[in-house]
């Protein structure tokens, strides 16, 4: 077991230095590599396979709700980006500009898309004529660029992968419905597929998307008590539509502006998975997105029948639709245990001569290392059950972490004290004024994460100014 | 049928103006839209769905051969791009340069990747240490940018989508094997899935990839007799590996350079499909990549039972794994016939009250409009048979076009005459000198398409200079 120890020692303990622990995992689990392009990361096969699984699940769900995929150019002419005032103010400071094509200076500079509202709007203005052309529910999977000063793999990088949905509707009600529908789709994906409990709510005006009327969000809480915005869904009303002249001839023969939404999630999800489920042995992956769901480690593999049995189990699991790998490499079983714990493989199966003699094998769950002896002729069903137990346990553990780290403050002193001593969500009432929001940032270094849907008030006065307040806000520090 | 006529008249006839016919199709079949970004296209849902089908087929086949997907940054620092001399000379004149990030001028400008050899090499240099790390067989699906002066949708645009595989090997033999393996995979995909016959061969030094030792290609012939390079596979030897210091410790304890390949296909394939199979009624899609494989048009759909029967047939086909759509819109059947002919849907099913009474429906093939009466209880098998017949017929028709348009020239006068009067491949011997290749371009406006593998010579003297020649070259005009 010497190898195992050595391997695990290479990771910083999470309670000692959470940021370093995170950085260690993304490297040691082979998720990313750094390149010579500052702030841009290389997503390695194991990391990219997680993204491919995320894409497959979401893309299938999107299409079930009528979404169609398209591809828009990656460049936006400066004049197009500046067409909607709030939008350009939000994004212009952080875009990369192309100014040369070959050896020629461009007459108009092009930004590399930070998001594609403007391109979608220009296209929609071209193709939407009549109410019969509505709704339009488009999405694209692509990479976008935001020229961040400080970067961290998955969480904040100058280039990242995402999907951006952009839709056009006949009425405000229909747009609102789509905004909520997609938020709920994200929430369900986080909670059921990724075992990450989320708070659904609305962003304050300060935190909403540049140009949106309303931004809805799913907020997840990481192991260290900092929040992560998991996905957002925006209702644009008809602001962009008016700026871009997107109108349709209604059945009453009058021209009307369209109502618009957009919604997206990105590779930042992978950072969220790491910081929600990971532990001191490495990554812990929810089965839905794990590139390898079950790893089979033969014990004393040189002994007759062991490798054959391992391969037979693998085939049985594969036939049952499980992503499985047999590692028959030359390293010791102990080394392999650490390796696949680092990589977060949800379930390990050990199979050796003694097990074989009894027609069984051992399953070991990644989250709690619980061992179960399983009869070989029942292995597929048993593996599925263990994976399902793990999926639920990950959710419960993350939920408990959130509950343990959710505090309530009734006045400013309380809030400042909690923010200084604890890390997590602080529930507190807010009057709705920007000044109070800014003051809480200043005195307690917290930002408003969201105003949860359907939440019970925890008082009737603003935690900051003491004026009457109807809005409950979750405050916290965020990635 | 007035509507139908009107619709079809909007396309230029292919024999009248092939280029305009092509442009008409990409627009009228809703494949693309133009944006305000010169030379960049919007790929619309119907066009993008074709690309998604191409991706699915190729990605599955790639993975069967051990390929792993990754994602590299879209930016390449200038110093990295210039590390391999031939490579930078080939690409620098046509790249887009990012010079500003937000409001700051970058200290080193970044090009938007025209291809990613340099990034892959930098990464491989980081992660390859020992012979145990080999081979590495990576691929990425992404968009790339080349600052072309003249652009055409799918065929030549400033941004396009593609896959680029980049591999590293222990020996020259293994690299050569992978180069050929991927070329054959492409060839099989073109011929069997896209019904596009291709010539497999090697590019001349003039036409090979910037920095490669050898470039292999699959060349397809379009309806108008111009060639299209469908996909390429490059053997780099160890040139890049030496420039980037990619070496491994071999089992004999000595450091050795790696051997490298790369290979790719792009959205240009869609242009090739259009120009190979399309006709004066619009697009004709091979079933493998058609977003809709069968469209069902109800006739007199207001009559009792018609729509029910159409939907029942649709469900039967869907259950059999066929991509199917029922169009029960308010337009006339004639209008719908034209619409789906324009969109290239391989098979149409018509079903009306008279058919119903006889327990049958009518299938109409897109390529030759052949009608077949089919019993409803046999519809899934019949549809599959018709799709398979169409797939083969498309191939045979394209092959005949290529055979009819393949000429042989024994001397320069013959070649010039053929090039002036005909459009197609000209087979002719070549001595191997660049001057002769340049001269043929000058006097006959043809370029070397490829030197086909295992081809019989058609003489023993160079068609240009008359000196001894062993290489048979296919010459032609190309997209």
How many interchain CB pairs under 8 A, A with B?
Answer: 147
CB A386 within 8 A of CB A363: yes
B69 vs A contacts (CB less than 8 Å): 45, 48-49, 52
Residue B38: pLDDT band with limits 50, 70, 90 = confident
Please choose, from the candidates B138, B140, B136, B132, the residue with its C-alpha nearest in 3D space to the C-alpha of residue B169: B136
What CATH number should be reported for the domain whose range is B292-392? 3.40.50.800
Q: Which two tokens stand for residue B362?
A: 């009518």
Q: Which of A70, A76, A112 sits opposite B48 (nearest CB)?
A: A70
The pLDDT score that the predictor gives to residue B144 is 97
Nearest to B393 by CA among B374, B363, B367, B362: B367
What distance in Å separates residue A48's CA from the closest CA in chain B? 6
B119 contacts on A by Cβ (under 8 Å): 35, 42
Parse chain A into domains and list their residue ranges. 17-277, 292-390, 406-476
What pLDDT shows up at residue A9? 54
pTM, entire model: 0.96
State the pLDDT at residue B113: 97
Long-range contacts of the stretch A54-61 (C-beta < 8 A, 24+)? A54/A265, A54/A269, A54/A270, A54/A289, A55/A141, A55/A163, A57/A189, A57/A193, A57/A288, A57/A289, A58/A163, A58/A185, A58/A189, A58/A265, A59/A141, A59/A163, A61/A185, A61/A189
Mean pLDDT of successive 10-residue segments in chain A (479 residues)?
Answer: 48 96 97 92 98 98 98 96 84 92 93 96 97 98 94 95 98 98 98 98 94 96 98 96 96 97 98 98 98 98 95 98 97 96 98 95 97 97 98 98 98 97 98 97 97 95 96 97
The pair of three-digit structure tokens given for residue B396, joined into one six-digit string = 């045979």
- Chain B residues with CB-CB distance to A60 below 8 A: none
Name the residue facing A68 among B45, B71, B138 (closest C-beta).
B45
Residue B86 pLDDT exceeds 90: no
The answer to whether A33 and B125 are in contact (CB under 8 A) is no
CB contact under 8 A, A40 and B71: no
Q: For residue range B12-34, list pLDDT tens digits in order.
A: 999 999 999 999 999 999 999 99
What CATH topology corresponds to A292-390?
A: Rossmann fold (3.40.50)
Q: How far is CA A208 from CA A87, A433, B351, in A?
A: 11, 15, 52
pLDDT of residue B93: 85
pLDDT of B141 higher than 50: yes
Judged by CB atoms closer than 8 Å, whether chains meet at B70 and A94 is answered as no
Tokens 């780290």 found at: A405
- The position carrying tokens 């699915």 is B56
Average pLDDT over residues B157-183: 98
Architecture per CATH, A17-277: 2-Layer Sandwich (3.30)
Nearest chain B residue (CA) to A158: B73
Mutate to test the interface with A, among B43, B62, B74, B91 (most CBs of A within 10 A): B74
- Count the neighbouring beta carbons within 10 Å of the beta carbon of residue A470: 12
CA A210 to chain centre: 20
Which residues, numbered 36 to 65 in chain B, qualify as contacts with chain A under a Cβ-Cβ cut-off of 8 Å? Answer: 36-37, 40-45, 48-49, 51-52
* Chain A, window 214-253: residues with a beta carbon less than 8 angstroms from a chain B beta carbon: none
| Nearest CB neighbour to B159, from listed A43, A74, A127 | A74
CA dist A282 and A298 (Å) reads 22
- Asked if B162 and B145 touch (Cβ cutoff 8 Å), the reply is no
Q: What pLDDT was estimated at residue B211?
A: 87
Distance from the B195 Cα atom to the nearest Cα atom in chain A, whole angstroms:
25
Looking at the complex, does the CB of residue A101 fall below 8 Å from at least one CB of chain B? yes
Q: Do B147 and A42 touch (CB under 8 A)?
A: no
Instruction: Estimate the crossing angle of helix A306-319 against helix A379-404, to 10 degrees.
Output: 70
pLDDT value at position B2? 39
| A contacts of B98 (beta carbons < 8 Å) | 96-99, 112
Mean pLDDT, chain B, rounded, equals 95
Q: What is the DSSP string of A188-207?
A: HIIIIIS---EEEEE--TTT
3-class secondary structure, B455? coil
B41, B98, B127: residue with CB nearest A33: B127
Of A36, A102, A119, the CB nearest to B122: A36
Cβ within 8 Å of residue B111, ≥6 positions away: B75, B76, B78, B81, B92, B95, B96, B97, B98
CA angle, B443 as apex, B440 and B449 as ends, to 5°? Answer: 30
Q: What's the token pair of residue B256?
A: 């050795």
Q: Is B147 on the interface with A (CB under 8 A)?
A: yes
Residue B180, number of CB atoms within 10 A of its CB: 16
Determine the length of chain B. 479
Cβ separation B123–A72 shorter than 8 A: no
Q: What is the ipTM of this complex?
A: 0.95
Residue range B360-367: mean pLDDT, rounded? 98
B97:A94 CB<8 A: no
Residue closest to A167 by CA, chosen among A206, A196, A138: A138
- CB nearest to A122's CB, from B36, B76, B80: B36
Q: How many residues does chain A have?
A: 479
Q: Is the pLDDT of residue B172 over 80?
A: yes
pLDDT at A4: 44
Helices (H), B82-198: 85-91, 117-127, 172-188
Nearest by CB to A122, from B35, B70, B109: name it: B35
Contact B98 A95 (CB under 8 A): no
**Predicted confidence (pLDDT) per residue in B428-476, tens digit:** 999 999 999 999 999 999 999 999 999 999 999 999 999 999 899 999 9
Contact B227, B425 (CB under 8 A): yes
Higher pLDDT, B273 or B4: B273
Instruction: Work out the minimum CA distance from B93 to partner chain A, whole angstroms.
Output: 5
Q: Are A467 and A431 in contact (CB under 8 A)?
A: yes
């900092």: which residue's tokens? A226
Is A76 an 8 Å CB contact of chain B? yes
- Is A71 within 8 Å of B48 when comparing Cβ atoms? yes
Contacts of B326 (CB under 8 A, 6+ apart): B295, B296, B298, B307, B310, B311, B314
Q: Which pLDDT belongs to residue A10? A: 80
Q: For B189-319, where are the alpha helices, taking DSSP H only?
A: 239-244, 268-277, 306-319
Q: List pLDDT tens digits, range A450-477.
A: 999 999 999 999 999 999 998 999 999 9
Give the pLDDT of residue B6.
47
Closest listed residue to residue B94, CA positions, set B152, B151, B149: B149
Distance CA A337, CA B163 (A): 35
Min Cα distance A111 → chain B (Å) is 9
Q: Quick check: A242 and A169 in contact, CB under 8 A?
A: no
The yes or no reply on domain A406-476 and CATH 3.30.420.40 is no
Shortest distance, CA A410 to any CA of chain B (angstroms):
41
In chain A the first and final C-alpha atoms are separated, in Å, by 37
Contact B33/A at CB under 8 A: yes
Contact at 8 Å (CB) between B262 and B117?
Answer: yes
Strands (DSSP E) contained in B72-212 are: 75-77, 96-101, 104-112, 136-145, 159-169, 198-202
CA distance A38 to A243: 36
| Residue B189 · residue B57 · CB < 8 Å | yes
* Beta-carbon separation of A70 and B44 below 8 A: yes
């Amino acid at each position: 077991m010497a190898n195992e120890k050595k391997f695990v020692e290479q990771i910083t303990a999470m309670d000692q230095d959470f940021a370093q622990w995170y950085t260690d995992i993304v490297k040691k689990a082979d998720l990313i590599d750094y390149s010579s392009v500052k702030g841009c990361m290389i997503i390695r096969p194991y990391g990219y396979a997680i993204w491919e699984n995320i894409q497959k699940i979401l893309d299938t769900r999107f299409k079930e709700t009528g979404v169609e995929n398209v591809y828009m150019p990656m460049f936006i002419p400066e004049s197009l980006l500046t067409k909607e005032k709030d939008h350009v103010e939000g994004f212009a400071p952080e875009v990369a500009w192309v100014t040369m094509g070959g050896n020629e200076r461009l007459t108009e500079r092009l930004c590399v898309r930070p998001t594609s509202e403007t391109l979608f709007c220009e296209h929609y203005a071209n193709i939407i004529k009549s109410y019969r052309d509505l709704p339009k529910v488009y999405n694209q999977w692509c990479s976008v660029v935001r020229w961040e000063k400080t970067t961290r793999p998955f969480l904040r990088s100058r280039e990242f992968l995402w999907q951006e949905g952009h839709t056009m509707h006949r009425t405000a009600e229909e747009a609102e419905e789509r905004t909520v529908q997609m938020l709920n789709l994200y929430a369900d994906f986080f909670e059921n597929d990724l075992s990450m409990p989320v708070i659904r709510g609305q962003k304050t005006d300060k935190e909403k998307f540049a140009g949106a009327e309303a931004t809805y969000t799913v907020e997840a809480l990481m192991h260290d008590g900092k929040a992560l915005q998991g996905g957002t869904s925006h209702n644009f009303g008809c602001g962009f539509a008016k700026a871009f002249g997107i109108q349709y001839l209604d059945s009453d023969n009058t021209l009307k502006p369209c109502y618009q939404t957009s919604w997206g999630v990105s590779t930042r999800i992978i950072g969220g998975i790491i910081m929600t489920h990971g532990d001191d042995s490495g990554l812990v992956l929810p089965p839905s997105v794990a590139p390898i769901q079950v790893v089979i480690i033969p014990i004393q593999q040189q002994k007759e029948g062991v490798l054959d049995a391992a391969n037979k189990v693998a085939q049985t699991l594969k036939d049952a639709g499980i992503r499985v790998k047999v590692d028959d490499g030359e390293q010791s079983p102990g080394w392999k245990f650490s390796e696949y714990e680092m990589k977060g493989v949800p379930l390990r199966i050990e199979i050796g001569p003694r097990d074989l003699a009894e027609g069984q094998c051992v399953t070991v769950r990644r989250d709690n290392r619980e061992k179960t002896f399983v009869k070989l002729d029942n292995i597929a069903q048993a593996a599925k059950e263990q994976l399902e137990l793990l999926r639920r346990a990950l959710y419960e553990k993350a939920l408990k972490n959130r509950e343990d780290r959710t505090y309530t403050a009734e006045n400013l002193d309380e809030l400042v004290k909690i923010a200084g001593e604890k890390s997590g969500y602080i529930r507190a009432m807010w009057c709705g004024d920007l000044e109070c929001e800014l003051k809480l940032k200043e005195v307690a270094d917290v930002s408003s994460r969201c105003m949860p849907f359907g939440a019970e008030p925890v008082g009737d006065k603003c935690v900051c100014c003491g004026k009457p307040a109807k809005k409950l806000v979750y405050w916290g520090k965020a990635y």
